[in-house]
Structures are given as C-alpha cells and as structure tokens.
Amino acid sequence: MLLGIFLHACTRFMPYYDTDNAVARTSLGVIIMVLHGFRMPLFFLISGFFTAMLWHKRGALSLLRHRAKRVLLPFALSVIFVVPFIGWGFSTGQRLSGQTPGPRPDYLSKILHIFDLKLTHLWFLWMLWVLVCLFAIAVSIGYLIKRISPSVAAWLGRQRGPFIAVMVAATLAGQYAMTGSSFGAGYTEKILLDPTVLGYYAGFFAVGAALCLPHGTLHPQVLRVTQHWVTLSIAALVLVVPALWLVGPSLNASRVFQVAFAWVAILALLGVFRRFFSTSRPWVRWLSDASYWLYVMHLPLVFVFQGLVTDWPLPFYVKTALIFVFTLTLLLLSYQYAVRYTPIGTLLNGKRTRTKKRNARFAAV
C-alpha cells in the first residue's frame, strides 16, 4: 500500500515537473512502471492466501461475513465519502498549480448511476470483494463434489501443482489480452470490471489461495524457494530490463518478460519479508493496520501537495520525495490520533485498544 502512495506521488497529476525534462519524465516513468508491474499482483496473491486461511479456519459463510465487513462496507462508504474528497483534492491542486479547475462533478448523480461512476484507486477493494465471492462459490462447489464423490474430491485435492501452473499461464494469457501498449496490467475503474483485468489478477489470487495449507502456513516448496531471495531479487532486476525495453519494439515479447518479472519479484519480496519481518514487531503491525487507511485516503492529498510544490524551485526528485513524505506524515498522524481507536479504525482493522503501558504514560502526564 505504501508503494502505491509513492507511485501516485511520482505520477504527474499536477504539473509539478516540466515534461520537457527528459530525465524526470524517464526516471519517474520507469519507477511507475516497475512498481505497477508487481505491486498489485503481490497484493492479490497475499489476499488470496489470507482468504484461504480464513476459509480453512471459519468456513465460507464466515469468510463472506468477515470480508463484507472489512472490504465491502469500507468500499461502499469510500464511494460515498472519499470519491467527492478526491474531486476536491484535484480541483484544489489545480488552483495551487495555477490551473483553472473544471466544473465540479455532480457526485450524487454519479453515485446514483453507480455503473457510470469511476472508482479511481478504490477499484482494488471492489475487485477483491468479487474475487472473494468467486472463491466462496468455488469452495462451495468443491464441498458438493466431496459430498457426491469423495474420490473425485480427493483427486482434485492432489492437483495443487497443475492448478498453480494453469493459473500462472492464465496470468500470461491475461497480459497478452490487455489492450494498449502499457507496462503491467490495465486499469478497470467501473463497477462492471474489465474481464481481462479481473482474470489477470484472479490468477495471482488463486495461486495465493492454493499456496495456503489447511493449518494456515505457506506451502513448504515456496518457503524453500523464497530462501534464495537475493538471487531472486537479482533475477527480477535482470528480467525488468527487457520487459521495459521491448514495450515499444516488441510488445508481445515484453509481455512475457513482464509476467516473469512479476512472479519472480513476488517470490523475492516474500523471501525478504520472511527474512526480516517474520518475527512479531509492534511497529510493523501498527504500520500494517495504518496502511489500509493511508491508501484509501491518500489520493486527494497527493493532488494537493503536487499543486503546492509546483512552483517551488527544487529538483523534481526532491519534490516527489516531499509529496510522498507530506502525504504519509499527515495520514500517519491522522490514523494514530483520529482513526485507530475510533469506529473507523474498528471498521478497517477490527477493534484496537491502547496498551496498559501507553495508558499509564498518558495518566502520568
């Protein structure tokens, strides 16, 4: 989620750097494409893993209830309250950058005509809910097969490897089916999701679910592979070069490298997190909780801060860093002091209580 905020800080929504600056345009463009190449595939693979883990522990109905509370309800409330805030942020950023804002959209009308509403960066929540529903349908069908023919169900249960191979191939097919000449997956901003984009991310989600064992751990073969995270990181860096280079000359060849880069980068990052963040750390847990709020709320602030720094006589990379830091700082403070221990925080992450040590410190003050 934090990478998503940095990606949007690099994106030129407001004219905070000159497009004639080839260095700025190229370097920020490469950063955006590289992050986009693996960020959302990793998110959906992890989402698939935790969806399967929750199903193993609670069952399909409890899974749907939990995800409705943590995903569907925040999505619906964000469409009502955050989307208009995004419009305000965009128009404010335009004014700060010296542009003339366009007419203010009629958000009430757009919400009432939900199929025409652009979901902006909130599309991932809607897609996640759709994938969770598809997962619940799939496991329910599996349960029926087990009731009708246990032997067939047992045979299907042994096909984890071939299933993963098919899903990996499906991501390549999805990448080939993408329209346009962009790097990574296309975007889908409407309630009626683009089936190609949905299928692409469904492949990563399905692999994540398949890698979750019944007791909620990652498959041992993946654990062995991710131990070589240094080698995988180097391989990802090698793969991303032709993936970027071939976008223009040979898009189909680039797409093969793009998908390979996404999968290798995912394995590398899983290894990095297992190596450095496998033990419980309170600050990591706190930041993980905060990331949901940060990502949902960051876009209007990015617009405003891009507009604010437009005329500042600073290099583009300093401006980009400032936009990211300003946005992150404001949202982290708002999460700690206005969200975490409120009904909004409970909605996003479940109920959180202050520790006794913290309460004692506050009492002493």
Q: What CA–CA distance (Å, rounded) separates 95 from 88?
A: 11
Closest CA to 346 of 281, 293, 284: 293
Q: What CA–CA distance (Å, rounded) separates 141 from 147?
A: 10
Q: 109: pLDDT confidence band, cut at 50, 70 and 90?
A: low
Helix (H), strand (E), coil (C) string for 229-271: HHHHHHHHHHHHHHHHHCCCCCHHHHHHHHHHHHHHHHHHHHH
Query: Which strand (E) or helix (H) includes residue 325?
Result: helix 316-334
Pick 114 or 96 by higher pLDDT. Answer: 96
Q: 188: pLDDT confidence band, cut at 50, 70 and 90?
A: confident
Averaged pLDDT, 122-147: 95
Q: What CA–CA distance (Å, rounded) separates 350 from 352?
A: 6
Whole-number percent of the chain with pLDDT over 70: 94
Q: What CA–CA distance (Å, rounded) separates 265 from 185?
A: 15
From 56-70, 95-109, 133-147, the region with the lowest mean pLDDT: 95-109
pLDDT for the residue numbered 40 = 94
Averaged pLDDT, 212-217: 86
Q: What CA–CA distance (Å, rounded) separates 184 from 180?
A: 11
pLDDT digits (tens, 9 = 90+) for 301-352: 999 999 999 999 999 999 999 999 999 999 999 999 999 999 999 999 999 8
Task: Please report where in the chains the tokens 């190229």 appear, as a residue.
Answer: 26
Provide the sign of the torsion angle of the four alpha carbons 325, 327, 330, 333, taken in this order.
negative
336-353: burial string, b at 16+ Cβ within 10 Å, e else: eeebbeeeebebbbeebe
Q: What CA–CA distance (Å, rounded) separates 271 from 234?
A: 13
Q: 218: pLDDT confidence band, cut at 50, 70 and 90?
A: confident
User: What is residue 218's DSSP assignment?
Assistant: B
Q: In the structure encoding, which two tokens stand for residue 158, read together?
A: 């042994």
Pick 68 or 184 by higher pLDDT. Answer: 68
How many other C-beta atoms can be found within 10 angstroms of the C-beta atom of residue 39?
20
Task: Please report where in the chains the tokens 């609670």 appear, as a residue.
Answer: 58
pLDDT digits (tens, 9 = 90+) for 240-260: 999 999 988 888 899 999 999
Question: Which residues have C-beta within 8 Å of that of residue 85, sequence separation ≥ 6?
Answer: 297, 300
Q: 356: pLDDT confidence band, cut at 50, 70 and 90?
A: low
pLDDT for the residue numbered 28 = 94
Q: What CA–CA distance (Å, rounded) separates 334 from 336?
A: 6
Quote the pTM value: 0.91
Instruction: List the chain domain ranges.
Output: 2-217+279-364
Q: 214: pLDDT confidence band, cut at 50, 70 and 90?
A: confident
Q: How is 52-66 classified by DSSP, letter by letter? A: HHHHHHH-HHHHHHH
Closest CA to 208 of 277, 132, 141: 132
User: What is residue 227's DSSP assignment?
Assistant: T
Whether the pLDDT of residue 212 is over 60: the answer is yes
